[in-house]
Amino acid sequence: MDCTVRPYLPTDETAWLRCRALAFLDTAYFDDVKRVRPAIAAPGFALVAVGPDGAVIGVIDVEVEHGAATVETVAVHPDHRSRGVGGALLEEALDRLAALGATTLDAWTRDDPDTLRWYRSNGFAEGDHYLHVYADYYTDAAEPDRAIGGRRPGLRPVKALLHAAMAEEAAMREQFARVHVCRRFVRSVKG
């Protein structure tokens, strides 16, 4: 792994946004594109991994509240995956969390098999699950009506993201083309 992990700097914002968008493009988060980086309040922190030429090839943002930490974003540029960049970001984040006295680190993710494998092989265990259901007029013109009961006159729903319980999974998959299982992974900071 030929990268250096350092704190995020405001001048990294464009590189951060591009890295995240490209990393998500072939995942279940492909349309979760941000144009401005959400701020992380202290004691939370943000790190970037840079290659030998200084280019940002991976990012991790971690929120910390009352000793519990959450990965807000972890993304490695697709040209640099599976070379330990994500692992290096996580390792540095865990060191910083231990120094802050945080005890747990969790993350929410959808159903990409490679990502699930990465969390599991990095000591995370799967806990809570629920569904992310997309109702999209352009996939099936009836989906928004199936998802939304009463309509406001003059407004036609075109796209909606809805949450549902796992018990609804079979019914949701029958009625909607895009359904994700959203899962919480959690590990202890000390490993």
Ligand X SMILES: CC(C)(COP(=O)(O)OP(=O)(O)OC[C@H]1O[C@@H](n2cnc3c(N)ncnc32)[C@H](O)[C@@H]1OP(=O)(O)O)[C@@H](O)C(=O)NCCC(=O)NCCS
- Decide if residue 46 touches ligand X (CB under 6 A): no
Question: In this chain, which of 72, 81, 159, 186 binds ligand X, going by CB under 6 A?
Answer: 81
Residues that bind ligand X (rule: CB under 6 A) add up to a total of: 21
For ligand X, the binding residue among 8, 47, 86, 136 (CB under 6 A) is 86
Region of 82 please: left (phi>0), alpha (psi -120 to 50) or beta. Answer: left
Nearest distance from C-beta of residue 131 to ligand X, angstroms: 16
Residue 48 interacting with ligand X (CB under 6 A): no
Nearest to ligand X of 2, 114 (CB atom): 114
Q: Is 6 a binder of ligand X (CB under 6 A)?
A: no
Question: What minimum distance in Å lies between the beta carbon of 40 and ligand X?
Answer: 15
Tell the smallest beta-carbon distance from residue 59 to ligand X (Å).
9
**Is residue 16 at the binding interface for ligand X, with CB under 6 A as the rule?**
no
From 76-84, 98-106, 159-167, 172-180, span contacting ligand X (CB under 6 A): 76-84
| Shortest Å, Cβ 149 to ligand X | 31
3-class secondary structure per residue, the chain: CCCEEEECCHHHHHHHHHHHHHHHCCCCCCCCCCCCCCCCCCCCEEEEEECCCCCEEEEEEEEEECCEEEEEEEEECHHHCCCCHHHHHHHHHHHHHHHHCCCEEEEEECCCHHHHHHHHHCCCEEEEEEEEEEEECCCCCCHHHHHCCCCCCCCCCCEEEEEECHHHHHHHHHHCCEEEEEEEEEEECCC
Angle at 100 between CA 11 and CA 103, to 5 degrees: 120
Selected binder of ligand X within 16, 118, 124, 176 (CB under 6 A): 118
Gap between the Cα atoms of 61 and 71, Å rounded = 6
Query: Binding to ligand X (CB under 6 A): which residues in 124-183?
Result: none
Position of minimal CB gap to ligand X:
86
From the CB of 158, what's the least distance to ligand X, in Å? 26
Q: Which amino acid is at 114?
A: D
Residues at the interface with ligand X (CB under 6 A):
23-24, 27, 74-76, 81-87, 107, 109, 112, 114-115, 117-118, 121
